[in-house]
Structures are given as C-alpha cells and as structure tokens.
Amino acid sequence: MFFSLTLFEAASNEKKDNYIKIDFRLNTKNPDSKNYFNWKTSSTNLKDSFDAVSGASLYHSTKEFRTVSYDKSGKNILTPQGLKGLLLYAVSSYETLKKDNLSIESKGRQLKISFNHRGNFYKIITDENGVMNIPESFFIIDQSSEVSNEEVQSKLIEDTVSENSEELYTGKLFTKLDKNGILKINGKLVLQSKAFPESPQTPAEQSKKLQNKSLFKNNLK
C-alpha cells in the first residue's frame, strides 16, 4: 500500500488530473461492510471502503480525494463541497451518517439528499431521471451564523467552486436508490477552464440547461 500511495503522490505532483471517474455505494439505513467509494483519475485508481479497525478509510480517500478536488494551492475547491462530503460517507462509519442527519427523499427517480457537516447544511437535487448535474444540482447554507429551521430553505445558495479557482469539474453522475436504502452513484467529471467550462451548446441544449436549473430551484423545498 505504501508503494502505491507513493506513486500516487509523485504522479499528482507531476500532472494535475483532468477527470474523475466515480463508482459509489452507500447503505443509508444500516451499517454495511459492502459500502465502497471507488474513484479513478489519470494518476490513480483507488477502490476504497471503511476500515472498522482504524475507524477511517482503508486507502485514505478522505485525504487523497482532496488532492484531486482542490487546485494546486490546496485552497480552492474545484467541485461542490457537498459532493466531496457525500462521497466520503461510503468510507466513514454509519455513526457519521447519523450524526450528520443524512436524509434522502425520493419521488420516482428524482432524489433530494440533505445533510449537515461541519457547520454547513447541504442539499443535492437530481433531475427527474436521477442525474446529478455538476455543479447545478448542489446547494449549501453556511450555518456558522444562527439560522432557524424555517429559514434554511430560503437561505440556500448554489454550492459551487471557489471564487479564486481557475478551473472546475463538470459532468453528470447517475444515481439509483433501491427499496433497501442502497444509494449508488457513478459517472465521470471532467476538469475544465472556469472561463470556458463547456463546449458551445445548441439552442436546444441551452434551453434544456435552463429548464434543469429552474427545476432544481423549484424543488428546493
């Protein structure tokens, strides 16, 4: 394991990863040793899970995923904060999920995921097909100041990348929640320039994006 992590660190210093492939499984209702967070970039391929002995992720995804989700300075996040928080639940104890009040509502294939973590409240809303659009599906409220439960929904803002970051990850993650509370997420994110985050869109594609953004905001409650 030491050898593989050393290679990972050397590669990350040489070249910034430009994509992240994600394969995730989480039992949201019970402790489950089958939970996993598998992720792949141009410099690493980790298949991780929770290690009950150490009480941490087996292959250190908690630390290593930060390497790819932040810029070279290590100060500016390139993904929604809520995405990193959600994915790391698969390599955390079930007690962590309970403490953070992880909750999932489903309507057909659409999911509304919410949780509290380190002073922030997060909400993630998929589209009607269960797709997380990065970053449009993510919302956040900083609860470092006093906010009542009634005010939470009205205070939510878009959970996006740091203002000082020059790049951001975009893409689609596909979700599925079964009747036993097993949440699965998979897909690919691509790192792009913040100035030009997307390739030119057709009028139909632009219209669809605006519809999706409206859908997310209308479903905050």
The whole-number average pLDDT for the span 147-158 is: 72
What are the pLDDT digits (tens) for 100-127? 999 999 999 999 999 999 889 999 999 9
Res 192: pLDDT: 93
Res 113: pLDDT: 97
What are the pLDDT digits (tens) for 10-63? 444 444 679 999 999 999 999 999 999 999 999 889 999 999 999 999 999 999
What are the pLDDT digits (tens) for 156-211? 899 988 888 899 999 999 999 999 999 999 999 999 998 754 554 555 555 555 55
Which range among 30-34, 35-39, 66-70, 217-221 shows the weakest confidence by mean pLDDT? 217-221
Pairing of strands 138-142, 157-158: antiparallel
Res 7: pLDDT: 42
Rounded to whole angstroms, how far apart are CA atoms 60 and 64?
6
**What Rg value do the Cα atoms of the chain yield, rounded?**
17
Asked whether 111 and 86 are in contact (CB, 8 A), the reply is no
With the CA atoms of 154, 155, 157 and 159 taken in that order, what torsion angle do they form, in degrees rounded to the nearest 10? -120
For the chain, the structural domain boundaries read 2-218
Rounded to whole angstroms, how far apart are CA atoms 29 and 96?
12
